[in-house]
Each structure stands twice: as structure tokens, then as C-alpha cells.
Structure 1
Amino acid sequence: MIRYRSNGQATIVLEGEIDFSTAPSVQAALTACRDKKATDIDIDLAAVSFCDASGLNVFIAASRHAAAEEGDVRLHHLAPVVRLLLDVTGAGYLLTGRRQDARPAKDHVRQASGGAP
């Protein structure tokens, strides 16, 4: 679902899995926002159950494109699986506006794999 606002802003609400097979649909939604002249795009990920590098690549490419147009792409309401992906890759600061610390990412990986800290 995409909601447009008259001030050049849009919100995309995603749900389910974002992977190699669904990333093109996410890309299409972001392209639709650009076609409607939305320069600031908020992406709500509260209902996302999985996101892999394909989704992350789409988000980063959209962020770079928006920055070139003096806009912004921001991820909101991060599902735990998305937060983990951003922590592990260190890409969170690009997409959420928050600086990511590598130390929590290592702790998340250890906890997820069952390894000792």
C-alpha cells in the first residue's frame, strides 16, 4: 500500500517476505513514488517477516536516488528480522537516520546462532 501526501512525501507499507522474488515489487512501489514526484519516502516494515540482501539493496538504491534528488528514504517500525539485518550489515544509519554500533550486531549474531558471548 502506498499513501501519497501533497508535500512530496509518500509512505509505503510492506508486509510478508522481502527477498529475491519480491524485491522487484518493492522496487516498483518505490518507482511509483518517484513517478508521483515523492522525494521523501517512509517505508513501514512492521509487518515484514523476512528481508534478505535483495530487499536491502533495493532500499539502499532508493536512498541513493532520493539523496540525488535532495530527498530521503527512511525505514520505520522495523520488524526484528529487519533490525538484525541492518545491525549485521551496518546499513542502518543509511536508512533510519540512527548510527549503528557494530558491538550490538555481534551480540545479536551470537544470540541468534546460540554461541557464547
Structure 2
Amino acid sequence: MGEAMFNWGNGRATVVLEGEIDWHTVPGVRDALAASGSHSGLDVDLSAVNFCDASGLNVFLEAAKRSADAAGDLRLHRPCRAVRRLVDVTGTGFLLADENSPLALPVDVRWPVAPHDQ
């Protein structure tokens, strides 16, 4: 996992993630999602993510719960085939955004999401 970029607009935060999301990179992903702040919603662009395991899915579920507790939501945008399959197999499709839902372009604010032991 490399970096995350953020955009805050219309009361929603957009986080763009890249690389692989697994047990090794999950702490950085968790930090990046938390750094997005409290908004009415959180959009996560996964177009540059090529792998996500169950530990990554768990981080998204945790963030979705936090968003829901704050009267918001979390939506995963543009997942690759492997991520879409993980979501389908686990019955967590409610995390996926409608393909036609808008996604704000990220601004160039970068948050390192490399494994914590590097």
C-alpha cells in the first residue's frame, strides 16, 4: 500500500487508496480512513487497489459502522474484480457504491499507508 489522497466536499470525504490491502497494510489504511475526519459520508476509491483480504474488508466494515454512528455512510467505489468477489462472497455488498454515484476528484493531500513496521 502506498499512499492515500483526500478530498473533502459536499460534506463527504473521498479517500483514494492504492496497492494491496492485507494484514500488513491494514494499520495504515485504518489510519487513513480515520484521518478523513467526521463527515456525512466517506467515499473510498479502490480503482488503484489490486488486492484486499478479509482484514482489509474488516477495516471497511469498522469505518462503515463509525460513519453510520455519525449518521453517515461509507461507499466503496471502483473495486477490482478480486475486491468485488470478496464483497460478494461475504455478503457485504451494501458497502459498494452504485456505479453511477458521483465520486469527487481527490486533492493532492497524501497520507502514508505503508505498513507500520517500515
TM over 0.5: yes
Q: Once superposed, what is the RMSD of the aligned Cα atoms?
A: 1.5
CA shift at 1:8, angstroms?
A: 2.4
Unaligned runs of 5+ in 1: 99-117
Number of paired residues? 95
Matches within 5 A, 1:1-117: 1-34=4-37, 37-93=38-94, 95-96=95-96
Q: Which has the higher strand share?
A: 2
Larger relative contact order (C-alpha < 8 A, sep ≥ 6)?
Answer: 2
Unaligned runs of 5+ in 2: 99-118
Q: Which has the higher helix share?
A: 1
> Per the alignment, in what secondary structure is the counterpart of residue 36 of structure 2?
helix
CA shift at 1:6, angstroms?
A: 4.1
> Per the alignment, in what secondary structure is the counterpart of residue 56 of structure 2?
helix
> Per the alignment, in what secondary structure is the counterpart of residue 4 of structure 1?
strand
Q: Which deviations, in whole Å up to 9, do the C-alpha atoms of 1:19-65 show, x marking residues without a partner?
A: 0010111100111112xx32311001111111001100000010011
> Per the alignment, in what secondary structure is the counterpart of residue 70 of structure 1?
coil
Contact 2:6 2:36 in 1 (8 A): no
One-letter amino acid matched to 1:8: G
Q: Which deviations, in whole Å up to 9, do the C-alpha atoms of 1:66-85 show, x marking residues without a partner?
A: 00100111000011110010
Give TM-score scaled by structure 1 length: 0.75
Aligned-pair identity in percent equals: 51
One-letter amino acid matched to 1:96: L
**Cα separation, 2, equivalents of 1:48 and 1:96:** 14
CA shift at 1:87, angstroms?
A: 0.8
